[in-house]
């Protein structure tokens, strides 16, 4: 039996997996009615080939979306919900951001793109395990970080920055750039490159621990298992970073005398 559909300003409101919402009292004066999940999937499919009803439901399960529900339990999406979902999908596709980072971005309340410049996107890529990063020449790194060659040499000497070699020259990525920027900020307080070795040692030990946890999956021939392992690395890195920050705050609180 064919499924009946209703239409609102040219958009199909009834689609796969969801029952159409009934008339909305007082909606005649509203420019757009709420959309069902199927209609949202159809609208976004023009930009995102892999969008599906199940994917939208998954993002809702991850607390990234909160559409209104009818008394019968059917989802109704506003235009704001659609734009929020569009922003989520773009962050996944264009910036390879994990859901935990996307959740932080959405928490700012601005997901229209006004805050999403190329520099901010590069900073987020630098902090991601999975996202591909751009390569920089020494000159580009010095220019973008605003530091001296002397500081860069010092950071390399103590293993804080570890460039690759290509065609006989050192090259850096966006993560190196953010490391140099952080080191430069600490240098303003008198923290020298040799003092930063403690961070390298800590990171090495954490990386060794995580390798024990997900190493076998990363070496798997299964693409799905490898992808899951990389996602787990992202989550574990976030938890480790949060725990380390909390431990530091606890010690600093004691230092402060609280």
Reading the chain (258 residues) residue by residue, the pLDDT tens digits are 444 444 443 344 444 444 444 444 444 444 468 899 999 999 999 999 889 999 999 999 888 999 998 888 889 999 989 999 999 998 888 777 778 778 877 876 666 555 555 566 677 677 677 766 789 999 999 999 999 999 999 999 999 999 999 988 999 999 999 999 999 999 989 999 999 999 999 999 999 999 999 999 999 999 889 888 888 888 888 888 888 888 998 999 898 875
pLDDT of the residue at 233? 86
pTM, entire model: 0.55
pLDDT of the residue at 19? 47
Cα–Cα distance for residue pair 242/27, rounded to 1 Å: 46
- 230 secondary structure, DSSP code: H
Nearest to 53 by CA among 22, 83, 19, 97: 19
- CB count, 10 Å around CB of 184? 17
Q: Which helix (H) or strand (E) holds 213?
A: helix 197-218
Residue 76: φ, ψ to 5° = -130, 125
SS3 content of the chain, % helix, strand, coil (to 5): 55, 10, 35
Contacts of 105 (CB under 8 A, 6+ apart): 87, 91, 97, 111
């Amino acid at each position: 039996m064919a499924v009946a559909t209703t239409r609102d300003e040219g958009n199909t409101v009834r689609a796969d997996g969801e029952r159409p919402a009934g008339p909305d009292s007082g909606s005649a004066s509203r420019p757009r009615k709420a959309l069902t999940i199927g209609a949202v999937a159809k609208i976004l499919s023009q930009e995102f080939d892999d969008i599906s009803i199940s994917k939208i439901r998954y993002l809702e399960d991850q607390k990234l979306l909160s559409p209104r529900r009818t008394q019968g339990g059917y989802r109704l999406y506003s235009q704001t919900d659609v734009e929020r979902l569009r922003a989520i999908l773009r962050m996944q596709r264009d910036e390879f951001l994990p859901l935990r980072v996307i959740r932080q971005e959405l928490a700012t309340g601005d997901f229209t793109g006004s805050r999403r410049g190329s520099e901010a996107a590069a900073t987020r890529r630098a902090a991601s395990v999975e996202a591909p990063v751009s390569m920089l020449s020494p000159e580009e790194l010095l220019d973008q970080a605003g530091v001296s060659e002397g500081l860069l040499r010092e950071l390399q000497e103590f293993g804080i920055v570890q460039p690759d070699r290509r065609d006989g020259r050192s090259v850096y990525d966006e993560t190196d750039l953010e490391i140099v920027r952080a080191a430069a900020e600490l240098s303003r307080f008198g923290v020298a490159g040799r003092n930063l070795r403690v961070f390298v040692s800590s990171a090495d030990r954490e990386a060794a621990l995580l390798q024990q946890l997900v190493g076998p999956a990363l070496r798997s021939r299964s693409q799905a298992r490898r992808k899951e392992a990389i996602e787990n690395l992202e989550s574990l890195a976030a938890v480790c970073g949060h725990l380390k920050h909390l431990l530091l705050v606890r010690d600093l609180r004691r230092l402060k005398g609280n």
